[in-house]
Amino acid sequence: MSRIRNKKQALILSAACEEFAKQGYAGTKIADIAAKIELPKANIYYYFKSKEILYRHVLESFIQPLLMATQPFDQYDHPAAALTDFIKLKIEISKNHPNASKVFANEILHGAPHLPPDIIEKLIQQTCLASAKLQQWIDKELMDDIDPLHLLFMLWASTQTYADFSWQIKLHLKSDEMQAQDFEVATDTLIKIVLKGCGISTQMAE
């Protein structure tokens, strides 16, 4: 029974991600989500009691992997390994959660009116911890003296653009869909630029 429930919830969540990404919170109707997956509207409310609760689940489907993406900052003692894995994870999120990423980006663009305080606090803590770790590596002269926060801002923008601005990316790649190789090239390119730009020696990390 739980397997059927989980499958149904995942189906609803996927459809909701797409609708919220296209229409925004105000423009999305539960009836449209239900029609998209050919379910009665009552079924949506059975699994998600309100539009607000469903929207929070959509946000969390992106924020959970986002919060996990900085684990390499705790796992490694050298910025080369940490930043390499961080970039890989962030590109992977854009690849696997494109619609949820757009929903999150749209929420931020509108001043985060529906983002719950507990999630905001988790994001703040994550950034503070990652910034502090980068500063430790700077103090140890393992990387150049670069402002940690602005480095993180740049990494957010350069990785999430492959989801949030996928239309523009696909336009210039002359493709209807991004392929696995496109994400691999993006990842390798960003790693090379970031490590070199931060003055990080990969040899020291080995």
Q: Domain extents for the chain?
A: 2-56, 59-205
pLDDT of residue 174 exceeding 90, the answer is yes
pLDDT of residue 204 exceeding 70, the answer is no
Q: Which residues contact 11 (CB under 8 A, 6 or more apart)?
A: 37
Phi-psi region of 179 (alpha: psi -120 to 50; beta: other; left: phi over 0): beta
Distance CA 163, CA 157 (A): 10
Per-residue CA distances from 141 to 103, 149, 160 (Å): 38, 17, 29
Helices (DSSP H) in 29-97: which residue ranges? Answer: 30-36, 41-47, 51-68, 71-75, 79-96
Per-residue CA distances from 144 to 57, 133, 188 (Å): 39, 14, 21
CATH class (in words) of the domain with range 59-205: mainly alpha
Q: What is the chain's alpha carbon radius of gyration, rounded to the nearest angstrom?
A: 19
Kindly indicate the confidence band of residue 181, based on its pLDDT and cuts at 50, 70 and 90. Answer: very high
pLDDT of residue 205 exceeding 60, the answer is no
pLDDT of residue 203 exceeding 80, the answer is no
The CA angle 197-87-81, to the nearest 5 degrees, is: 75
pLDDT for residue 69: 97
Structure tokens at 18: 């797409």
Distance CA 70, CA 88 (A): 11
* Dihedral sign computed on CA atoms, order 85, 191, 154, 144: positive
Q: What predicted TM-score, i.e. pTM, was given to this entire model? A: 0.91
pLDDT for residue 3: 77
Per-residue pLDDT tens over the stretch 48-107: 999 999 999 999 999 999 999 999 999 999 999 999 999 999 999 999 999 999 999 999
pLDDT for residue 7: 87
- pLDDT above 90 coverage of the chain, percent: 91
pLDDT of residue 167 exceeding 60, the answer is yes
Tell me what the pLDDT averaged over the chain comes to.
94
Q: Which residues contact 45 (CB under 8 A, 6 or more apart)?
A: 30
pLDDT for residue 202: 76
Of 5-9, 132-136, 164-168, the poorest mean pLDDT is in 5-9
Mean pLDDT, residues 159-175 taken together: 96
For domain 2-56, the CATH superfamily is: Homeodomain-like (1.10.10.60)
Mean pLDDT, residues 140-160 taken together: 97
Going by the DSSP 8-state scheme, the letter that residue 147 receives in this structure is -
Mean pLDDT, residues 36-58 taken together: 93
> Which is nearest to 97 in space by CA: 70, 69, 66, 118?
66
**Taking a C-beta distance cutoff of 8 angstroms, is the pair 65, 93 a contact?**
yes
Per-residue pLDDT tens over the stretch 98-142: 999 999 999 999 999 999 899 999 999 999 999 999 999 999 999
